[in-house]
Amino acid sequence: MEKVLSEVHLELRCSEETTITRFDFRSSSQSSSCDEPSSSDPEEDLPRGRHVSKNIRLDNDGDIKLRRGKKKRRVARSLSICHSMSTPLASVGLQVWRGALLFAEFVLQSQERFHGAVVLELGGGTGLVGALLAPCARHVFVTDIGEDILKNCARNIEENRHLSQGGVEHIQVRELDWRCPLERPVETSSATFQWGADDLRRMKNLSYLVAADCVYDEPLTDTLFSCVKYLFRAYPSCRSLFVSLEKRVNFSLVDLQARAHAYDHFRTHFTAVEPSQHVPIDVPVALDHAAPMKLLGRQISCDTIGQAFDYDRTCDLELWEIFVDSTKESCAVVEAK
């Protein structure tokens, strides 16, 4: 059977099929319970490839004076993640993908945004993103399909509970198949990962959806977007969907050129707006279930996201925030709450 290997694991010299990798990361010491004081010089501590902005002035002799007073302290932490090395396509959730590391870096940098939020992660895989969301969000649901993936994810969440001061009570691993999101129980699901009444009550305050590295196949991307639209309709409090992805370029025999088919297809699902364009999402609206839903997408420049993990962050990695276009002209609104 053909297997795929994530670029994240390329440099790991491991003969085992399954292994535990320590992912070291740096985060600012300001607001999160996932930070600890560090005794080392914060500048020396930054990971490879990170740009350090220094406030440089000259003294009367023309010598450089470094101002050290107001720098943010950056501290080192680590996540321990159990994952497979290479897997068949159906089990890619047992590996860590670069999109997860990029989104995890966004979380580390934007903790205020997720503070008090209820977040549902789609295709959460190994649980790396969820483990970093847990310290700042009010509640996190990490979802995926397949008992092996869900069990591995739950194990990783448990293993990294030290990152959350309050433990892992406010993070749950649940089964959610994009083909039938929360509509009916999946026959194969184990009781451990089934949705309970408390979960569904919490979901009424859903704030964000997250999908890290879930765009790699065109039909699957369509399924993902139907699921997202279903969730936007079912939970009007949900502000947006974050998607991190890698543009995977392949040579196409049909086009006789290199193309990023899955990425191009992803872009057909929404209208891109300028980063500075205002998107009116402040008032939760109940959307007419029969009406078509249009989506808007705003790219978040990766240059604004500090690199906290040590990996090859190529320019093919992107992060998007996707909103319902709730202007009256574009979709039918039942009533504003």
Ligand X SMILES: C[S@@+](CC[C@H](N)C(=O)[O-])C[C@H]1O[C@@H](n2cnc3c(N)ncnc32)[C@H](O)[C@@H]1O
Round to whole Å and give the CA distance between 62 and 48: 30
Residue among 306, 100, 331 nearest 236 (CA): 331
Which of these segments, 47-55, 96-104, 273-281, 283-291, binds ligand X (CB under 6 A)? Answer: 96-104
Given 28, 75, 124, 321, the residue binding ligand X (CB under 6 A): 124
Task: Spell out the residues 6+ positions from residue 239 whose beta carbon is closer than 8 angstroms to its own.
Answer: 207, 208, 281, 323
- When the beta carbons of 36 and 264 are compared against ligand X, the nearer one is 264
Binding of ligand X at residue 178 (CB under 6 A)?
Answer: yes
Given 76, 220, 234, 249, the residue binding ligand X (CB under 6 A): 220
Given 81, 104, 137, 214, the residue binding ligand X (CB under 6 A): 214
Given 119, 134, 149, 279, the residue binding ligand X (CB under 6 A): 149
Which of these segments, 36-44, 104-112, 117-125, 299-307, binds ligand X (CB under 6 A)? Answer: 117-125
Binding of ligand X at residue 154 (CB under 6 A)?
Answer: no
- When the beta carbons of 243 and 279 are compared against ligand X, the nearer one is 243
Residue among 5, 38, 13, 27 nearest 305 (CA): 27
**Residue 223 Cβ vs ligand X, minimum distance, rounded to whole Å:** 6
**Residue 185 Cβ vs ligand X, minimum distance, rounded to whole Å:** 14
Given 179, 190, 204, 336, the residue binding ligand X (CB under 6 A): 179
Given 42, 125, 297, 306, the residue binding ligand X (CB under 6 A): 125
| β partners of residue 281 | none
Cβ atoms 275, 303 nearer than 8 A: no
* Strand ranges in the chain using DSSP code E only, listed in sequence order: 4-5, 18-28, 56-58, 64-66, 74-84, 86-87, 118-122, 139-144, 171-175, 206-212, 240-246, 250-252, 257-259, 271-273, 285-287, 295-300, 317-324, 333-336
Dihedral of the alpha carbons of 104, 108, 114, 119, in degrees to the nearest 10: 20
Binding of ligand X at residue 93 (CB under 6 A)?
Answer: yes
> Three-state SS across 15-53?
CCCEEEEEEEEEEECCCCCCCCCCCCCCCCCCCCCCCCC
**Residue 162 Cβ vs ligand X, minimum distance, rounded to whole Å:** 21
- When the beta carbons of 279 and 308 are compared against ligand X, the nearer one is 308
* Residue 208 φ then ψ, to 5°: -140, 150
**Residue 23 Cβ vs ligand X, minimum distance, rounded to whole Å:** 11
| Interacting residues with ligand X (CB under 6 A) | 92-93, 96-97, 99-100, 123-126, 144-145, 149, 177-179, 212-214, 216, 220, 223
